Amino acid sequence: MTMPSSLRELAAVCGQLAILLVEEAKTRSDLVRELFLGGNQTDMSAV
């Protein structure tokens, strides 16, 4: 099964986007965790 170059390029772009999203999710999970902790427990911000 041979794919046209446009489909191959689209697949490559999707792959790169997926990697970027995973990397960003790793960094953002820390921010989200801090936001949830800061919002639920105000005394956590002093630590």
Q: How much is the pLDDT for 18? A: 94
Distance CA 28, CA 22 (A): 10
If one counts the domains in the chain, the total is 1
Domain assignment present for 6: no
Q: How much is the pLDDT for 42? A: 53
Domain assignment present for 46: no
Domain that holds residue 27: 13-41
Domain assignment present for 27: yes
Domain assignment present for 33: yes
Q: How much is the pLDDT for 19? A: 93
**Helical ranges in 1-47 per DSSP H:** 5-40
Q: How much is the pLDDT for 38? A: 74
pLDDT means over runs of 10, the chain (47 residues): 84 94 86 75 52
Q: How much is the pLDDT for 37? A: 78
